[in-house]
Amino acid sequence: MRKKFREFYNNDSINFENLKEDVLIVFDTNTLLNIYRYSSATSDTFIKSIKKVENNIWIPYQVGMEFNLNRKKVMNDVKKAPVIFKEDFENKIDNLINGVKNDLGNYFLKSIDAKEIKNQFIIDLTSQLNDVKEKILQNNFVSLSNLVDTERDKLTELIDTLDDKVGDPSTQKEITKICEEGANRYAKEIPPGYMDKKKGVFTYFNGLEFESKYGDLIVWEQIINRAKDPSINTVVIITDDSKEDWWYKIGIETVGPRAELKNELIRKANADLIMINSNTFLKQTNIEEVTEDLVDESNTYSRERNIPSTGEIQYFENRIEDFAKINPKNFKVQQRFLFDLDSDSELASDLRLRLEELEKSAHFYLINVNEQKEYLPNIIKLVVTNKLQELIEEIEFLKENIEIVSYEKVDSVENNLKHLINSYINLSK
């Protein structure tokens, strides 16, 4: 059994303290970019771990390309994140106060003495919430922001270390062949990469072009080609990609790399495959110092290969123009987006759920307006009804095109709906 099904019985662990020369260590793009998203202490530990195994490291050209195309953007995102978070936090406090103010305005008591109590209620609430807001910003938020030195490029030294570790690029002919084979593999859900099959963007760089959905597959093929060297017996991939086209899962538990991947590497390169995530790498390279997880795996931000490159940005700008032509009345998408979404990703599911809740609210008030028609002037009923129908159309359009939707866009829809509802309530009094 072991000889015929080696992929099911080979060792899934590696001793980083005593690495042999026949072990090839490969870092995925997301793993390298995520170093910018760690605290300074965790980043330093990670870089220290990388240097411990630097003699065995090899970086596929595709990984190096993706890393360099996206490095500046990630650094900029990290630098802007505290400012954006602070603004969002303050806006949420203000929205809470305004929401309570609207609720009090609808409270059944209409007398002057009740109005005075309501006003004092808002004054006290505003004062106390602002005090809490300032304390949190001055203490917790400052502590959180101080974990990262945004002025320092953490990987400058590491980039020099990896200079001679990067493989050669595939030729356009080789990439075209990989993409053609990828279409067949993805249709049959042969790993890796098929979870990205709904991506429609292209990457153009160094005279090469390809559909970005084949990025994982190109990395995999470059790894296989490198592992064909007779001196390589084991390949260790360190990745924070958690999708099922890399990992075998039982329920919510990740068991190990897909057997198909292990089998393909054995067949084509006679090498064994081991895959681990960043936390495991940190622990196994710092046995005495790291006993607990240092990386928050529940934070899914940019875990996947979904950060737009220059070519992808141009693609989205073109798509935005196309969508505006399709639905110019309702669809005013922001010329800024955060993610190139898989329509089945966790982030897309979250956005879709929020849109569905907004759609329910819009339908509820549309029905309510129609039921109250005898109490509302026709012009008010007509305006509110039309606005609600436009919002519903916009929400339906966004749900159908979830891959280009950002959090900001959903927030904008939600704010428009709240504003419309509040206006309707005030006009109905």
pLDDT tens digits, one per residue of 69-105: 988 888 888 888 888 888 888 888 888 888 888 888 8
Helices (H) and strands (E) in the chain, counts: 14, 7
Query: Buried b vs exposed e over 202-216: b needs ≥16 C-beta within 10 Å?
Result: ebeeeebebbbbbbb
Round to whole Å and give the CA distance between 166 and 170: 12
Alpha helices in 228-258 (DSSP H): none
Task: For residue 94, give the H/E element and its range.
Answer: helix 61-105
Please report how many Cα atoms fall inside a 13 Å half-sphere around the Cα of residue 403, on the Cβ side.
Answer: 18
Task: Give the per-residue pLDDT at 335.
Answer: 33
Round to whole Å and give the CA distance between 244 and 17: 30
Q: Which residues contact 2 (CB under 8 A, 6 or more apart)?
A: 9
Task: Give the per-residue pLDDT at 32.
Answer: 93
Task: Give the per-residue pLDDT at 98.
Answer: 86
Task: Give the per-residue pLDDT at 378.
Answer: 56
Residues facing 237 on adjacent strands = 26, 275
Sign of the Cα torsion 339, 274, 71, 175 reads negative
Q: DSSP class of residue 190?
A: P
Could you tell me the residue ranges of all domains in the chain? 6-70+151-285, 79-145, 310-428
Round to whole Å and give the CA distance between 147 and 85: 15
Six-digit token pair at 168?
Answer: 């050669």
Task: Give the per-residue pLDDT at 409.
Answer: 74
pTM: 0.65
Task: Give the per-residue pLDDT at 8.
Answer: 81
pLDDT tens for residues 329-368? 333 333 333 334 455 556 667 677 777 777 777 777 777 6
Q: Which residues of the chain have pLDDT under 50?
A: 300-341, 373-375
- 276 near 6, Cβ under 8 Å? no
Distances (CA, A) of 146 to 159, 173, 419: 24, 48, 37
